[in-house]
Structure 1
Amino acid sequence: MRLLISAIALMASLSFCVSSKAAEQPVVDQDIALVTTTGKIAGSLQLPSSAGKLPVVLIIAGSGPTDRDGNSAPLKGKNNSLKMLAESMGQAGIASVRFDKRGIGASASAATSEADLRFETYVQDAAAWLKMLKADKRFSDVAILGHSEGSLIAMLAAQQEPVKALISLAGPAKNAADLLRQQLQGKLPPPLAAKNEEILAALQAGKTYTEVPAELKSLYRDSVQPYLVSWFRYTPEKEIGKLTCAILLVQGDKDVQVDVAQLSALKQARPDASTLLVHEMNHVLKIINGDMAQQMASYGDPALPLAPELALKLNGFLREKLK
């Protein structure tokens, strides 16, 4: 989530089953783009060789400057988590599309100013991708997968463009403002904690806040507040109940950004959803069995493989639900 990365920096400054047989030939990225009124949104298509139509999954990255591969510009190195996920799908005979959000990477030209950006902008883009994939004669069933903040985007886009299945991967259940409260609890000195609550309350009420302390500017600068207001309107555990497609909820128990309680809350909101809790998997979908130093190093280590259980069971779910 956008705020999760920012908040980590702020705190520092403050004190299912299928065969594992690989495809006969490597599945490689092909360029694909979504044309919008403000420019092209660039993406990568993984298209396994097939004599007929293939199911396809739209993959939506998490918040902030996170690109199609799951890498974030402010962090050192690359983890390539979403690229690895797409490759695992390809080896299972499932096509996928992942993309740089507008303003990020090769989609920089499609950016609007930060002050003009709204959460709904990302939702509309995802819905447009779904519409395009549904019209593409190479594909059969269409599914959507959202990672972290992308989970909520996926839920809202699927309400506009229904899909066969939705996967929430490390997706929060609670409102983003409440998650930020939880994340910062006990991390700020009392006066700053009180001011933080004032700001969050105002934003949740749909109002911007003018007197933001310098220490909180990275989170609540004037240009980002309209985006936060639009984001805080939506609560995932409410939105997931509006969907009628098959759902898989996935979480790792070593995720320090989205805790396991979020999985439980989403499951409570959609009791019919399938769930997968991956032991020792963290937020970037890697297995971590060490300390916080190893946790942080994994965010920039492309040699660290995708959690094997995730790939196996996720592809199994997709093969079962998609035709």
Structure 2
Amino acid sequence: MNYKIFSFLILFISSVTLAQEKSYTEIEISIPTNSVTINGSLITSRSSEKHPLVILIPGSGPTDRDGNSAMTKNNSLKYLAEALANEKIATYRFDKSVLSFTKDDKEKVDALTFETFINEAKSIIDYFRITKKYSKIIVAGHSQGSLVGLIAAKNNADAFISLEGAGRTLDVIFVEQIELQAPFLKEDTQKIVSELKKGNTVEEFNPMLMTLFNKQVQPFLISWIKYNPQIEIAKLNIPILIINGSKDIQVKNIDAELLHKAAENSELFIVENMNHIFKEINGDLTENMESYSNPNLPIMTNFSDKISTFVKDLK
């Protein structure tokens, strides 16, 4: 082979390799808390300067660091973390603590309360704040994680981002969702959540509601239902960004608007055609539901761009 051609090929291959190299690194970080060790992924830019850190708190259920569960795989939080990394914004995303328990830890799982999640989030914030490696620490909570995050962020974070977070109490949302899906169960649901709000468990109720209100989960619901997102977000005196998608079938725009109204120092951003997991939906409910199990569908760029701009503009 001609020496010049060989040299050109080597140079070309090297250039392609460098072009494909990611602008960030990703490492596993485990953080001890009073309940369990939290396992997650830290993504940081390769540059040496200090960057802001966004802590991503997942939503309800046994959700992992990527936004996935046993029933769904969509990589929503993974894609968000990578999009922010490309803008030189560090992220830490983690598995819900319930994923660290084994089948033999049933008693520990049943003992979990909403405060458990709040305290775990506080431990994660403290872990990174103590390092003093980041210019700002921002808490971003998705869905249930929004309420967890905004409570944990008080006096601990430099900013807060609500991602598809409820603006109303759990009892109101339960009744609304049941009314839409099974109107004949609305009255039974109202009676149950009324008792839960008083701190009482309910022994007898319509078996059709067993999935929502089984005896094991009621103590957790009691610990959750007492928090009003509007009251809690009003306690924050840090910059706040509230985001909701117009195609979200789980959390309505009214929830984002209520949070925005309750927090004077907040900015509201409604993303047209975005659903609960940050994906673009231009069709019907079927398309929306199918996106929850499509790990190859990207998140919306104007959504991640808005978060990047908000974070970079923090003083």
Q: Is the structural similarity TM-score above 0.5?
A: yes
Match in the other structure for 2:68: 71
Paired with 1:145 and 1:174, the residues of 2 have a C-alpha distance of 18
Paired with 1:253 and 1:189, the residues of 2 have a C-alpha distance of 24
Confirm or deny: 8 A CA contact 2:140 2:160 kept in the other structure: yes
Structure 2 length normalisation: TM-score?
A: 0.89
Amino acid at match of 1:199: I
Q: Percent identity between the aligned chains? A: 37
The one of 151, 160, 164 equivalent to 2:158 is 164
Confirm or deny: 8 A CA contact 2:197 2:226 kept in the other structure: yes
Match in the other structure for 1:15: none
Please identify runs of 4+ aligned residues in structure 1 that moved more than 4 A: 109-112
Confirm or deny: 8 A CA contact 2:257 2:268 kept in the other structure: no
The one of 56, 62, 67 equivalent to 2:53 is 56
Q: For the structure 1 residues 126 and 111, does the alpha-carbon distance in structure 2 shift closer, same or farther, using more than 3 Å as the test? A: farther
Paired with 1:23 and 1:58, the residues of 2 have a C-alpha distance of 26
Confirm or deny: 8 A CA contact 2:114 2:224 kept in the other structure: yes
Instruction: Please give the secondary structure, in 2, of the residue aligned with 1:97.
Output: strand
Paired with 1:133 and 1:112, the residues of 2 have a C-alpha distance of 30
Match in the other structure for 1:176: 170
Amino acid at match of 2:228: T
Match in the other structure for 1:17: none
Match in the other structure for 2:29: 32
Instruction: Please give the secondary structure, in 1, of the residue aligned with 2:45.
Output: coil
Paired with 2:57 and 2:167, the residues of 1 have a C-alpha distance of 17
Shift of 1:263: 1.2
Per-residue CA shift, 1:219-274, capped at 9, x if unaligned?
11111000000000101011000001100000110001001111111111113311
Match in the other structure for 2:255: 262
1:46 matched to 2:31? no
Per-residue CA shift, 1:133-164, capped at 9, x if unaligned?
101132221110000110000111012x4211
The one of 203, 226, 229 equivalent to 2:222 is 229
Paired with 1:188 and 1:52, the residues of 2 have a C-alpha distance of 54
Match in the other structure for 1:80: 75
Which structure 1 residue ranges, 5 or more long, are not aligned? 1-21
1:283-294 matches, within 5 Å, as: 283-294=276-287
Max radius of gyration: which structure?
2
Paired with 2:132 and 2:62, the residues of 1 have a C-alpha distance of 32
Amino acid at match of 2:265: D
Shift of 1:115: 2.2
Which structure 2 residue ranges, 5 or more long, are not aligned? 1-18
1:114 matched to 2:109? yes
Paired with 2:283 and 2:143, the residues of 1 have a C-alpha distance of 22
Amino acid at match of 1:171: G
RMSD over equivalenced CA pairs, Å: 1.9
Confirm or deny: 8 A CA contact 1:34 1:129 kept in the other structure: yes
Amino acid at match of 1:94: I
Per-residue CA shift, 1:46-98, capped at 9, x if unaligned?
011122322111100000111111112223xx210100111011110011101
Structure 1 length normalisation: TM-score?
A: 0.87
Instruction: Please give the secondary structure, in 1, of the residue aligned with 2:82.
Output: helix
Instruction: Please give the secondary structure, in 1, of the residue aligned with 2:181.
Output: coil
Confirm or deny: 8 A CA contact 1:285 1:307 kept in the other structure: yes
Instruction: Please give the secondary structure, in 2, of the residue aligned with 1:47.
Output: strand
